[in-house]
Structure 1
Amino acid sequence: MLLEPSPALYAFFFLQTFLFVPIIAVLAVLRFAVAGGHARLAGFVAILTAFGALFLQFGPALMGLYEGALPVIAGQITRAGLGLALPLAVSAPLLLSAVLPGRRWWGVDLLHMLALVSLLGLFIWTRVL
């Protein structure tokens, strides 16, 4: 019981690894589909970063690459900043699209904020408390 990880740690790892980037990818596709102008361009950048992040997280294993430069570099990028650098980099263009002219569907921004606050809250919970 003393060395058993807390449920918050399990939830953080699950959200960080399997849920956050795909949620952002879906929200970015929605933003790109309905927005106009600069917000649409930021949505497209969010799509590219989300799919790039998904490739970095799961691509080498799905391609059967366990040795060499690609899995090492992908692992380093995925683990950068205590594992938060990649999710925050994916989230940044979608966050930017929320304040650019041409945005529509405030629900996309609400869901994005909910996912981001959940990720950061669990991160703080697991590091501090």
Structure 2
Amino acid sequence: MNEYSNGTSGMGAVMGFMSFIYFLAIIASIAGMWKIFQKAGEEGWKAIIPIYNLIILLKVIGKPWWWLFLFCIPLVNIYAAVMVCYLLARSFGKDAGFAVGIFFLGFIFIPMLGFGSARYIGPGGNAQDLDQRIGSIGLS
């Protein structure tokens, strides 16, 4: 047996496992975004086309297409990403905590939003719909 064979096979197994987990996270995010688009009245296949999926996401949250350019400007892109996460959460009646989850753990929170019971209430969380929901549970 070679003196180098013991450590490399273990590292290869770990790297293979991590690659598999990463692959599953990507698939879960794509499937979650597909369902989010469907809930928002868009066709799900739009989630798999790069750039176009961001344009559709901006439409879903009520922002103009030119916000796409904000993602090309250093530091501004962080602000834009945070706002997109926040407005996406609000569009489905979720709070800022859920938006933080989308921002940091999107591979978990995007599928939760897509496959969960959350309903699309409008771009950025339509205030009128939100008022109706609050009134229907007796909090107003």
Give your verdict on TM over 0.5: no
Question: Larger RCO: Structure 1 or Structure 2 (Cα < 8 Å, ≥ 6 residues apart)?
Answer: 1
When the two structures are superposed, what TM-score results if normalisation uses the length of structure 2? 0.31
Instruction: Report which of the two has the higher share of helix.
Output: 1
TM-score, with structure 1 as normaliser? 0.33
